[in-house]
Structure 1
């Protein structure tokens, strides 16, 4: 293989050395290759990551990031990538309200709670360097994944306009040129059944094909007491196929496709309060139960195709092309009132498509390394939903589209000033052209014609416009690193990020006439100092980063009840905020039989200005003293340890773990839905054969059966049925797994 492609050994070493892994010995990429995490961490192998779009030693990268191997996540029973928030400091990664597969991501206080079409994320998701523009079906399951890199802070120079809070890189396994087959079967609580199969077939010395198929099913944690169906269940079918061609050491081509279909029932949430008898309210015994009557149909599909080519033009120059197409659609419904009646129901439909093309030129010299590139995105996000206000016999239909064409040119260079000092300078220019169309109209009747009620009578036209906006931004980054020795790096950096402006797809031109003008981008300036190092003969690894960010024009979605039965929605550019904190990751590997990990994150986020319209006023008012950051706990802590012994021709490893998150606000204001701080306790026990071909394991998550909210809706008042609805993280689960590799 070419030097441009990381080996399995270096990838697993990266996961062992710096992430909070606490795992048993990891499987190597090729069957028969033995890899012990503790010994790898103490070896002289270089740890390689691609956080700066080129292969580098992890210690050399002046960015706060965590690297976690897919095998570690699997062994510890991670249900999906939301488990990253338990292993990564200052990260919130949750399933969206009322959804089963839509992602809510926040890093260092920056993110996106509103998954509506056309609204840009603040933490970007990449699958094999392909940007995933929409959060629907972004809750990726853990199969066929080599590692996940979590980059914290703005990554606007190399990753673009919507990485203002950070980026999550989901890296799947390359096929290689040897026959490989593996299978995994898991059974657990609530009749959980996971089946995963992977196959690689080398057709020639240079051409291989392969694929993975995964089937995930689980009964619900609760029940819809009105319809009898499961709540918080899982019904997912996913597959990936790829072909790789490497005729020489300097050429590598990969074509890959994936498709995921999620037919889990919608989650309707659980009432926290009564509603004054409109209609009669009866509490449920379980926070996972509901009395929703809006319906139980939910279908989310996403699929994509990508082609990646890497060509070594010389010993120093490599050309890389990444072409990708993705699309998806969602049919779902959210019962905001959680009663059998249509007091406040929202049937919805989303559709998106995107094409991206990226060209890179990578240079690796003795003292100078860097990457230059251009990027193009052409996407459309569209959708529609009804707001059914049953007590008024009224429905408001909202629909619209956002077309985006984005162009960018970027570069990042690192130069070794001396053997100990290195300077990195980068910048990216981005231009977005957006066209937004929004339609919003009243109908008399329960549901509009768009959602099945042909007899609904059209009423007041609230919004009907098409507008064009262009946004452009230059996002530079500079860092200075000092290496007093090979395994130690002190660095300081400054970077700028921005999230593109746009149009509010819920905008009501009667309640907020300025919605037709759209909203502005948000920007952040972030300063970071850090240290990465290996100590005590590589038995102790320690990362530490402190950051300060100046956050301007933050885009905040405000939804509140309005006169006449509607719900006023508008996007505020909220003024100014100050964010500062730190992240620390420590890993101790004194022997091959014991490892210990500690991860600590602290974030202080405070609004300095927050201008918004209140009480129907026409002049913005500063309410910063009444606003808080959502989905941003001040403290995140994780501790774990692994004891392992040679048993029965293999290795038996036991890993307990505990994670803590301090108080969390669900919105930018105080509400009864806010979650107090809580602890989660997990444990796993795995036996792995000496040749890494077989694994038998059991993983328990949330052993104390903690109840904790991860989202909610807040629409108080009799007209809306006093809809104060909570959504909860998983209860205690235990899962047993058998896995083989050939």
Structure 2
């Protein structure tokens, strides 16, 4: 089944449909400053109509474009320092997890057949692949982070939340924005936009950006600096005011990243259940290998495989907005692509254990959304239709190198054994993965204004998902001969099959689902609003497209080919307040989310040595409180203090993959008892019960805070203000492995960013900045190297950086 013909046929509707521009200019204040005085009100379009953020009965944070620019938060990775419940992890663009309150996609869950739980929308267009979240923002007016299920408001169902990005639109006044930044480590960035009229009815806007920075990790193998930045992007928009009630906007964009990325450094080693002579220290000694540094914050890696992270996205959209008199009708037709061409070093050492590891991928998507929004005296509503069609093609390639046999296999004295004949050298796995993914939905939300103070807001969504996936994995030896399961496999072939196994299967998934929610909100006073909500929703099921566990003959266990949908029950209550003439804003919310059939990486008993795959953890629970506090006593000072406490855990998960300290030994059978953790040569459990333990990537406490002060001055003949600001963030320790491990906890850390400069009334701004001012050494995440050798590697956060930015707007 494909929705592509339906979406193509629906495209002409874009010429006769739509809502007037719903986006009102956002405040330049940070999210926590929401509405700090009478003249500083943030207007959002979270519910597809313009309204103040304080009046919306949704837990959300809003970042104005000016605040994003001033704080250097030019991508989602940096935005997470300003929004405590947003988590962003990216080993590379394809292996990216974007979570809100710890939900969305578990770490390590890179699988073409599994969808994300956090939706990313740019000007109402849904971006299906999380890789899009790694790009720089381009001419952004504001970013809204909506927490909790949003399926009755947005086209694609999202169970954890949505990131709604609104760019600056074409204007009929001629405007220019230009910004140049230079800094240490070869950092240079340019952002520019120009907008103006072509006629009384047509306006255009052109925007470009470019970011470059040298690598801040030294690769001892070849002397290169790695993990740098090399980003370029552009967007063109044409607005046609066809009539006084009809607006049509055509948008095209293209973005490319091409850094030498993404490398991990040696972090530590920990004892596993593997035999002592197969732990990292012994293997390295046998190979005559010494890591160039065992101090991770010396920022030295040793990677012998060339690194590449060529990441390209782009597309076009046609948005039509029509005021019908009975409501605002919007149609958005969009096509997008994503191309990924990587090269990784997946043994994380300078040894040729895995000489090639890469999964190039190409994705194309078409979306069509039509919605009608109405604002009335007693009733407001939004009703919409959404269609989505996606194709994904991935080509996996893994080649074992000259050091593979002695690194991965048991030592032996037999001269003909694979260990001594080096039969893993040149062993190659070629995987071809295909996915066709289609969904359609009817959604709607109604607001009944029962009284001037009380509103009741029910919503419902009817959704259909269909997926068809194929996986074909072929294994060959160094001579190009097929390596397959057979009754007469040689000892060498069995050794090869223990490392790379061929597999082929096809699977389909389809399901209807109904979601619903209800919210009650009550205004205790003009500036004191309360709300409570309940949502029952789902995250689409999927297909395991990274391979399946297999039986003793190598046949895939097809009962694991498809993954159940997640079933979500979400409860939330909140309070939004402003005091002292809106000079103080304090918002508070409490939430509890329970997920049945949580999609996670699991193992299948005795087959776990062959493959990890995606299945369902029976129950996960996330609960906590969040707050935003903003102070603006006058026009010269503002401050904010945001935070979240989040208790996120597996409630029931008995067949989880074991952490490294319990892995690598002989799997227990019958009445055998697993050895204590970290026992070389011990017995390992087939799987581990992690019930009651923390979800990965979630700190119990996260904070963001900051302040800015200014004084009026005249410089260089221009009136304006001198200002200085600080922005900080803090998070407590978090687990960096799907099953918590003593070896992969990331310690808590605090980051501090400083800025000071002169802002002229004429639109000129120049300032100096320091990020990570105290040069805190921290990990973005830790990872377990393959092979159960006990090697733990780390992805480092940026060191202290500094520079200067000049910006002009006229």
- 1:217 is matched with which residue: 200, 212, 215? 212
In the alignment, structure 1 residue 177 sits paired with structure 2 residue 172: yes
- Post-superposition Cα deviations, 1:701-722, rounded to whole Å, max 9, x if no partner, equal 11111122122331354xx665
**Residues in 2 aligned to 1:145 and 1:350: alpha-carbon distance in whole angstroms:** 28
Closer/same/farther in 2, CA of residues 420 and 660 from structure 1, 3 Å limit = same
Equivalent residues in 2 for 1:266-277, closer than 5 Å: 266-273=261-268, 275=280, 276-277=282-283
**Residues in 1 aligned to 2:94 and 2:75: alpha-carbon distance in whole angstroms:** 10
In the alignment, structure 1 residue 568 sits paired with structure 2 residue 636: no
Name the structure 1 match of 2:521.
481
In the alignment, structure 1 residue 725 sits paired with structure 2 residue 793: yes
**Residues in 1 aligned to 2:723 and 2:606: alpha-carbon distance in whole angstroms:** 57
2:171 aligned counterpart, secondary structure: coil
**Residues in 2 aligned to 1:133 and 1:456: alpha-carbon distance in whole angstroms:** 37
In the alignment, structure 1 residue 400 sits paired with structure 2 residue 433: yes
2:302 aligned counterpart, secondary structure: coil
**Residues in 1 aligned to 2:791 and 2:428: alpha-carbon distance in whole angstroms:** 17
Equivalent residues in 2 for 1:80-99, closer than 5 Å: 80-94=75-89, 96-97=90-91, 99=92
**Residues in 2 aligned to 1:617 and 1:553: alpha-carbon distance in whole angstroms:** 28
In the alignment, structure 1 residue 421 sits paired with structure 2 residue 454: yes
The offset of 1:161, in angstroms, is 5.2
Equivalent residues in 2 for 1:67-466, closer than 5 Å: 67-94=62-89, 96-97=90-91, 99=92, 103-112=96-105, 113=107, 114-159=109-154, 162-273=157-268, 275=280, 276-278=282-284, 279=287, 280-284=289-293, 287=297, 288-314=299-325, 316-344=326-354, 345-390=356-401, 391=404, 392-393=424-425, 394-445=427-478, 456-460=480-484, 462-466=502-506
Name the structure 1 match of 2:646.
603
**Residues in 2 aligned to 1:540 and 1:41: alpha-carbon distance in whole angstroms:** 6
Name the structure 1 match of 2:752.
681
2:542 aligned counterpart, secondary structure: coil
Closer/same/farther in 2, CA of residues 209 and 716 from structure 1, 3 Å limit = closer
* Equivalent residues of 1:271, 1:283 under 8 A apart: no
Closer/same/farther in 2, CA of residues 382 and 515 from structure 1, 3 Å limit = farther
- Post-superposition Cα deviations, 1:136-183, rounded to whole Å, max 9, x if no partner, equal 232231330000000011112222555111111111101111111221
Q: TM-score, normalised by structure 2?
A: 0.83
- Post-superposition Cα deviations, 1:372-418, rounded to whole Å, max 9, x if no partner, equal 01000000122122333431323333331111110100010001100
**Residues in 2 aligned to 1:613 and 1:597: alpha-carbon distance in whole angstroms:** 40
Name the structure 2 match of 1:26.
none
Name the structure 2 match of 1:28.
none
**Residues in 1 aligned to 2:782 and 2:328: alpha-carbon distance in whole angstroms:** 48
The offset of 1:626, in angstroms, is 6.9
Name the structure 2 match of 1:589.
632
* Equivalent residues of 2:22, 2:48 under 8 A apart: no
RMSD of the alignment, in Å?
A: 2.5
Q: Which has the higher strand share?
A: 1
Structure 1, 289-298 or 215-224: larger mean CA deviation: 289-298
* Equivalent residues of 1:664, 1:676 under 8 A apart: yes
Count of matched residue pairs: 704
The offset of 1:361, in angstroms, is 0.7
The offset of 1:93, in angstroms, is 1.8
- Post-superposition Cα deviations, 1:546-605, rounded to whole Å, max 9, x if no partner, equal 0111111111124899999x8622102011022210110010110000111010101101
Q: TM-score, normalised by structure 1?
A: 0.90
**Residues in 2 aligned to 1:456 and 1:721: alpha-carbon distance in whole angstroms:** 29
* Equivalent residues of 2:443, 2:462 under 8 A apart: yes
2:735 aligned counterpart, secondary structure: coil
* Equivalent residues of 1:253, 1:308 under 8 A apart: yes
Name the structure 2 match of 1:638.
704
* Equivalent residues of 1:161, 1:498 under 8 A apart: no
In the alignment, structure 1 residue 19 sits paired with structure 2 residue 31: yes
Equivalent residues in 2 for 1:424-573, closer than 5 Å: 424-445=457-478, 456-460=480-484, 462-510=502-550, 513-514=557-558, 517-558=561-602, 568-573=611-616
Name the structure 1 match of 2:420.
none
- Post-superposition Cα deviations, 1:69-101, rounded to whole Å, max 9, x if no partner, equal 12111111224221221111222123x11x268
- Post-superposition Cα deviations, 1:490-520, rounded to whole Å, max 9, x if no partner, equal 1000112321111111123525614653111
Name the structure 2 match of 1:30.
none
1:82 aligned counterpart, secondary structure: helix
* Equivalent residues of 1:611, 1:620 under 8 A apart: no
- Post-superposition Cα deviations, 1:244-298, rounded to whole Å, max 9, x if no partner, equal 1124442221111111111101212112246233441324255432111111333
**Residues in 1 aligned to 2:166 and 2:668: alpha-carbon distance in whole angstroms:** 48
The offset of 1:44, in angstroms, is 5.2
Name the structure 1 match of 2:14.
none
1:195 aligned counterpart, secondary structure: strand
Query: 5+ residue gaps in structure 1?
Result: 22-36, 446-454
**Residues in 1 aligned to 2:131 and 2:23: alpha-carbon distance in whole angstroms:** 32
Closer/same/farther in 2, CA of residues 199 and 410 from structure 1, 3 Å limit = same
1:272 aligned counterpart, secondary structure: strand
Query: 5+ residue gaps in structure 2?
Result: 1-17, 270-279, 405-423, 485-500, 658-666, 671-684
* Equivalent residues of 1:231, 1:265 under 8 A apart: yes
**Residues in 2 aligned to 1:620 and 1:52: alpha-carbon distance in whole angstroms:** 48
The offset of 1:629, in angstroms, is 0.2
2:699 aligned counterpart, secondary structure: coil
**Residues in 2 aligned to 1:731 and 1:558: alpha-carbon distance in whole angstroms:** 35
**Residues in 2 aligned to 1:237 and 1:346: alpha-carbon distance in whole angstroms:** 26
1:11 aligned counterpart, secondary structure: coil
Name the structure 2 match of 1:451.
none
**Residues in 1 aligned to 2:529 and 2:772: alpha-carbon distance in whole angstroms:** 37
Closer/same/farther in 2, CA of residues 659 and 559 from structure 1, 3 Å limit = farther
The offset of 1:195, in angstroms, is 1.2
The offset of 1:20, in angstroms, is 3.1
Name the structure 1 match of 2:783.
713
2:428 aligned counterpart, secondary structure: strand
Name the structure 1 match of 2:736.
666
Q: Which structure's CA Rg is the greater one? A: 2
Closer/same/farther in 2, CA of residues 490 and 562 from structure 1, 3 Å limit = same
Name the structure 1 match of 2:720.
650
2:133 aligned counterpart, secondary structure: coil
Name the structure 1 match of 2:21.
5
**Residues in 1 aligned to 2:400 and 2:606: alpha-carbon distance in whole angstroms:** 12
